[in-house]
Structure 1
Amino acid sequence: MKKLAASAIALIMVAACGPTGGGANGAASQGIWATGSSTVFPFATRVAETFAQRQGGAAPRVESTGTGGGIAAFCEGVGVGTPDIANASRPMKASEFDTCVANGVDQVLEIRIGSDGIVIATARSGADFDFQPQDIYLGLAAETPNGSGFQANPNTAWNQVRAALPSQAITVYGPPPTSGTRDAFLELAMAPGAEAIPALAALADSDEDRFEVIAHTLREDGRWIDSGENDNAIVQTLTRTPGALGVFGYSFLEENLTQVKAASINGVQPNAATIADGSYPLSRSLFIYVKISHLQTTPGLAEFIEEFLSDAAAGQDGYLADRGMIPLPADQLAAVREAVRARTPMARPA
């Protein structure tokens, strides 16, 4: 399996080509521009490399800025100087959609490209972990239940969270607030872990807003460490930091299996099968968002999307599966292609 270094080199090369973006009022742009999720980045870069080889000319510009940052740039407006595509490792939020519409980005294709899992990993030489959902919350939440109220998280070692866990300090490197991986981790790991605790399950029923704050707030005492948008850097940190854990996308685990290993959740290991069927609890969908107006004005954009959804790329035996993405079932991929062909704009998220 190819390492991400080649993709990083490709990014530097195409970024050097200068600003690109969709055209406005019929004006052609200089090239295709995609920005956003660090998880989608290696997939989009691989498609960009293949597209350039097949079409000739410069590869599309692909940036890793995090899902939140990518969607924010995407929603700034239409035309030259704005991205054609936002890469995302979670669905667009209603508030983001509203920002898009307010800025004239009112016709957007939401394209699901495949699935991924979020892993909690450690160096291959480290201890084995089998987490229950509540372990993750109790280890990483800023506040935990204490009688009828809450207290600053007192746990400093994993065996304080649950005796069966390894006796090692809680040190977890993970993505920053701008990352879709961070958002998905809060939704898929922290919130279910909180709901598994009776006091917090009761709070979820009585005060949903308060529950969300408690469940989604990570500790800031040095036990959880924001590590930027480069998931591959987290992998390298784990190899240099004995006992530390890291949170990142499954594709990065696949790329680095000689260096790191994943914890299981409820006894389920992350792999292609458990992510595809949803039995691994931290499974998620991956998306790209495309401005419909830019399909008319950005040369090659429609063909780039076609390459992204081709059997050669997104199919069961496609090159994106080799990179670590879990492909959509054939019928779902066919439905996505049809929506793209019809240029059916997404509805406002619930």
Structure 2
Amino acid sequence: MFQFVSRLSGAALLLLAAACGQSDLSQLDTGAPGVKPVPAIARNQKIKIVGSSTVAPFSRTVAERFGAVSGFPTPIVETTGTGGGFKAFCEGVGPISPSIANASRPMKESERELCAKAGVTAITEVELGYDGIVIANSKLGPDFDITKEQLYLSLAKEIPDGKGGFMPNPYKNWKEVSPTLPDEPIMVLGPPPTSGTRDAFVELGMEKGAEAIPQLKALKASDETAFKERAHTVRTDGVWIDFGENDSAIVQSLVKSPEAIGILGFSFLEQNGDRVKGARLGGVDATFDNIVDGHYGLARIMFFYVKDQNLPLVDGLADFVTASVDEGAAGEDGYLLEKGLIPLHADDLVKQQEIARQLETKVHTY
């Protein structure tokens, strides 16, 4: 019934509604558990995209071009953070629910389970490109060259006390952490817990930094869960300030507060290079080339997730996925590079293009 209804024309929907005794012609219930009723105007429904603030600028750029040249309505892109995006994405199937979730980290198993409970059982992961997580500050602020171990010692809620135990983080000034760091108060503007950027930062930065400390390395060997709790828990004493799901707002605040540093995506550093600068990480500059070749230690892949069951319900969905990973968009000379995208290696991009082609064949299978 669900597959049949999704393909009916507007006139056929009216006939079906009358035959079923349906008095409200605005919706038809598919009968599938966890699946929202399908509006009769589904063919005019815009593609809805939610999720990561880091991926959003790339999605918006593709959406604007897609709306201008494809003949389909311009997709709606909302910034909710990776975690918030998955929550909305997993609410159910149907054209009124998000069809794509942008993410700056992979989907967790718990999020897949949340989707499954709502009937979202067919999800396709697509890699868009690379991004670096940068430590940035105002052009007027001091220069930073910081290691991952120093990041951990500066920002973890509790650190080793030198006696085999742990103590609340006592450091208030960068120079207290290391004499090589600036003589400035520690003040970090960062993404909230729902952000994939924060997840990636604590995993790629703080966790790796914790592993450099013998006591924590031993803890990881004996109790990995306890180790991750120590390594991933960020200070709550006002040193780290959750700044919402908006890297642009972090940039604006850094300009106004030269003493602060911010955690944000590389693309935002690229777009605001006249106002903010990136710190070196263990002597390595946060540059396009260093991220591509793997020398920069805070790089990650950006993703978007497609709700396959929405393919026949939202016109243009498969076409939009294809447009997102097209060579002209995400390739080495694609227009997304102007927004700060770091492209996948050629072979990896070809794999994503094949995934997009497979989605096009699924449009008529649900």
* Superposed pair shares fold, TM > 0.5: yes
What secondary structure is seen at the aligned counterpart in 1 of 2:218? Answer: helix
Q: Aligned equivalents of 2:38 and 2:349: distance in 1?
A: 32
Q: Aligned equivalents of 1:219 and 1:46: distance in 2?
A: 35
Q: CA deviation at 1:26?
A: 8.9
Q: CA deviation at 1:150?
A: 0.5
Q: Return the letter of the residue paired with 2:172.
A: T
Question: Does structure 1 residue 326 correspond to structure 2 residue 342?
Answer: yes
Q: CA deviation at 1:57?
A: 5.6
Match of 1:41 among 56, 67, 79: 56
Question: Does structure 1 residue 306 correspond to structure 2 residue 322?
Answer: yes
Partner deviation per Cα, 1:149-187 (whole Å, 9 max, x = no partner) = 100000000111011111110000000011110111111
Partner deviation per Cα, 1:264-285 (whole Å, 9 max, x = no partner) = 1111111111111221000000
Q: CA deviation at 1:129?
A: 0.7
User: What root-mean-square deviation, in Å, do the aligned CA atoms of Structure 1 and Structure 2 show?
Assistant: 1.6
Q: CA deviation at 1:80?
A: 3.2
Residues 60-71 of structure 1: pairs in structure 2 closer than 5 A: 60-71=75-86
Moved more, 72-81 or 142-151: 72-81
Query: What is aligned with 2:88?
Result: 73
Q: Aligned equivalents of 1:55 and 1:289: distance in 2?
A: 21
Query: What is aligned with 1:19?
Result: none
Question: Does structure 1 residue 171 correspond to structure 2 residue 190?
Answer: no
Q: CA deviation at 1:199?
A: 0.7
Partner deviation per Cα, 1:13-45 (whole Å, 9 max, x = no partner) = xxxxxxxxx986695251100000000010000
What secondary structure is seen at the aligned counterpart in 1 of 2:273? Answer: coil
Query: What is aligned with 1:3?
Result: none
Partner deviation per Cα, 1:263-322 (whole Å, 9 max, x = no partner) = 111111111111112210000000000011111110111111111011111111111111
Query: What is aligned with 2:297?
Result: 281
Question: Does structure 1 residue 184 correspond to structure 2 residue 184?
Answer: no
Partner deviation per Cα, 1:197-222 (whole Å, 9 max, x = no partner) = 11111111111111111111100111
Q: Aligned equivalents of 1:202 and 1:322: distance in 2?
A: 44
Match of 1:55 among 44, 53, 70: 70
Quote the sequence identity (%): 51
Q: Return the letter of the residue paired with 1:180.
A: G
For the 8 Å contact 1:171–1:223, the answer to whether it is kept is yes
Q: Return the letter of the residue paired with 2:125.
A: E
Q: Aligned equivalents of 1:186 and 1:41: distance in 2?
A: 21
Query: What is aligned with 1:5?
Result: none
What secondary structure is seen at the aligned counterpart in 2 of 1:261? Answer: strand
For the 8 Å contact 1:117–1:249, the answer to whether it is kept is yes
What secondary structure is seen at the aligned counterpart in 1 of 2:203? Answer: helix
Q: Aligned equivalents of 1:158 and 1:263: distance in 2?
A: 14
Q: Return the letter of the residue paired with 2:328.
A: A
Question: Does structure 1 residue 149 correspond to structure 2 residue 190?
Answer: no
For the 8 Å contact 1:231–1:249, the answer to whether it is kept is yes
- Greater gyration radius: 2
Residues 71-110 of structure 1: pairs in structure 2 closer than 5 A: 71-110=86-125
What secondary structure is seen at the aligned counterpart in 2 of 1:53? Answer: helix
Q: CA deviation at 1:145?
A: 0.3
Q: TM-score, normalised by structure 1?
A: 0.90
Question: Does structure 1 residue 233 correspond to structure 2 residue 249?
Answer: yes
Partner deviation per Cα, 1:115-138 (whole Å, 9 max, x = no partner) = 000000010111111111110000
Q: Return the letter of the residue paired with 1:38.
A: S
For the 8 Å contact 2:187–2:259, the answer to whether it is kept is yes
For the 8 Å contact 1:40–1:88, the answer to whether it is kept is yes
Query: What is aligned with 2:276?
Result: 260
Q: Aligned equivalents of 1:337 and 1:258: distance in 2?
A: 35
For the 8 Å contact 1:24–1:80, the answer to whether it is kept is no
Match of 1:32 among 22, 43, 47: 47
Q: Aligned equivalents of 1:23 and 1:332: distance in 2?
A: 35
Question: Does structure 1 residue 249 correspond to structure 2 residue 249?
Answer: no
Query: What is aligned with 1:272?
Result: 288
Q: Return the letter of the residue paired with 1:172.
A: V
Residues 114-125 of structure 1: pairs in structure 2 closer than 5 A: 114-125=129-140
What secondary structure is seen at the aligned counterpart in 1 of 2:140? Answer: coil
Listed as ranges, the gaps of 5+ residues in structure 2 are: 1-34, 361-366
Listed as ranges, the gaps of 5+ residues in structure 1 are: 1-21, 345-350
